[in-house]
Amino acid sequence: MPRPTESPWDIYIKSGPVFTLGSGFLEDRLKTGWTVQAGVREPLWSLGSGAQIFCDFGGGYATNSGDGTPVLIQGFYQGIDPPDDHVHFSRNGVLTAAALPAGGSGDLMNTTLHKLERLSFHAAIGGSLSPAALNASDGLQTQLNVRLGMRAGGIDPDYEKAFLPEIATGIVDHLGHGHQNIFVSTDGGEDPELFFGLFTSVGVSTTYQARYSTVTLGAELEFARDWFDLGDYTQFGHYGLGTVTPMLTLGFTF
């Protein structure tokens, strides 16, 4: 049976670049970003021979910039106050009208994603192993670490939205025809606000005793998948983002 440990909490901070993982609609439109994470790690059970099970709680911030590629978004606009009996959109660069109630939609605007930011909290369970072959030196302890966890939090996409030239001209003309307002319908550039993700990581760390605390330096490679919906911006039902993040870690045990 594993033995409960009485070790104190370890406080850590991690940081590194965030690379998109694989090829996909969103992955291909984001540049390499960066992340910073902080949290606490508590050993739960000692398995003997330098192995133990631990839990991990913390939070993090991650951001990726867009590559500046505009995405053509579908939709329509309609004059209201008084209301039109038709809607307008663009087809092959030409302003087109469709009668209600069937109506329709077509090209409406270009949307550019400038930045995708995520702020999250995470919880994980993990294990560490201190092989004898890596711990021959006095005063230093080297561990191999693995984590598996989940995270959730807020997401904030920063978009630039621009009507197609023929749409912008048509809206101005509509307002000149006596309509007081314009109704625009599109799912392009959704702001999902929340996301959920799973992650796993592997790493190596070295611990030594400093004057006032135990200090841990390490390197870690994290693989993650976050799920969220950016509406018609991502097209074809593409939800979420896969990332791989190499991080340097710094920890303290007081």
In angstroms, the CA 125 to CA 142 distance is 19
pLDDT at 247: 98
Read off the pLDDT of each residue in 221-249 and give the average, rounded to a whole number.
87
Read off the pLDDT of each residue in 226-247 and give the average, rounded to a whole number.
84
Tokens at 110, concatenated = 């270009």
Is a pLDDT exceeding 50 seen at residue 44?
yes
Is a pLDDT exceeding 80 seen at residue 136?
no
Under 8 Å between Cβ of 35 and 60: yes
Which residue type, as a one-letter code, is found at position 52?
A: Q
pLDDT at 65: 96
Is a pLDDT exceeding 70 seen at residue 2?
no
pLDDT at 152: 97
Q: Which residues contact 232 (CB under 8 A, 6 or more apart)?
A: 73, 74, 75, 186, 187, 188, 189, 190
Under 8 Å between Cβ of 177 and 122: no
pLDDT at 184: 87
Task: Tell me the sheet residues that pair with 77.
Answer: 88, 184
Task: Tell me the sheet residues that pair with 236.
Answer: none
0.85 surpassed by pTM: no
Read off the pLDDT of each residue in 160-170 and give the average, rounded to a whole number.
92
pLDDT at 199: 98
In angstroms, the CA 222 to CA 175 distance is 53
Higher per-residue pLDDT: 65 or 232 = 65
Q: Distance from CA of residue 130 to its chain's centroid? A: 33
Which residue type, as a one-letter code, is found at position 47?
A: L
pLDDT at 133: 67
In the predicted model, what is the mean pLDDT of the chain? Answer: 87
Tens digit of each residue's pLDDT (9 = 90 or more) over 45-88: 888 777 889 999 999 999 999 999 999 998 898 888 888 888 88
pLDDT at 4: 47
Is a pLDDT exceeding 50 seen at residue 1?
no
Domains of the chain: 3-70+114-163+193-253 (2.40.160.20)
Tokens at 61, concatenated = 């911030």
Tens digit of each residue's pLDDT (9 = 90 or more) over 174-218: 888 777 888 888 877 667 788 999 999 999 999 888 777 789 999
104 in the Ramachandran plot: left (φ > 0), alpha (ψ -120 to 50) or beta? left
Is a pLDDT exceeding 60 seen at residue 24?
yes
Q: Which of 183, 191, 217, 222 is nearest to 62 (CA)?
A: 222
> Using 50, 70 and 90 to split pLDDT, how confident is the model at 3?
very low
CA angle 209, 219, 241 (to 5 degrees): 145
- String of DSSP letters for 55-71: EEEEEEEEEEEB----E
